[in-house]
Amino acid sequence: MRPYEILASECLIKANIVDLYRDTILLPNGKTTTREVVRRGRAAAVIAALHSGEILFVRQYRHATGDFQLEIPAGMLEEGEDPAAGAARELEEETGYRPGKIRELFSFYSCIGFCDEVLHLFLAEDLTSGTPNPDEDEFVVVETYPKEEALRKVLSGEIRDAKTIAGVLYMCQEIHG
């Protein structure tokens, strides 16, 4: 097997944080079809562990869901930005905490069916508190929860964000693993 050949790619919408393309692709059977693809780029997310063992979260309104969501700190990487530096920057901007240690856990696609965004998930430890400095359009509330309560929030459906679910399950793997 090999990747499908892209015969044409047309930008339908160029927006602030995403671009929408329609690609015409050649299928293995020789037929052609189209696929819409949201091009978003790279992002970093960080699961931050306090000395107490609690996990840092941010609660913010997400317009696409029409509701407030409990998430781990995350954001888009700037052009050419190292993912670890971006994760540390997002953590500090959203929560005020700076990591003493940060390491990449794994990378994954946020929504593989229609979006090319790659998220780099990091674990931040040895945190030092400071003052949050969110973007002017970010209104977040910082919350902390013990691992067990965070896992309960995932399993009950209160946490529905994929990157947050991945981070919490990683942190809680020793609880039930």
Number of structural domains found in the chain: 2
Both 22 and 58 in one domain: the answer is no
Catalytic, out of 136, 138, 143, 148: 136
Residue appearing with tokens 């359009």: 137
- Find the domain containing 94 and state its range: 42-176
Q: How far apart are CA 94 and CA 74, in angstroms?
A: 8
| pLDDT at res. 133 | 85
| pLDDT at res. 174 | 62
Both 78 and 107 in one domain: the answer is yes
Q: How far apart are CA 116 and CA 173, in angstroms?
A: 28
Helices (H) and strands (E) in the chain — how many of each? 4, 10
Both 58 and 17 in one domain: the answer is no
Both 20 and 78 in one domain: the answer is no
Q: pLDDT digit of tens for each residue in the chain (177 aa)?
A: 788 999 999 999 999 889 999 999 999 999 999 999 999 989 999 999 999 989 999 999 999 999 999 999 999 999 999 999 999 999 999 999 999 999 999 999 999 999 999 999 999 999 999 998 887 888 999 999 999 999 999 999 999 999 999 999 999 986 554
Report pTM: 0.90
Whether 36 sits among the annotated catalytic residues: the reply is no
CATH number at residue 61: 3.90.79.10
Both 35 and 14 in one domain: the answer is yes
**106, amino acid identity:** F
Both 142 and 75 in one domain: the answer is yes
**151, amino acid identity:** L
| pLDDT at res. 2 | 82
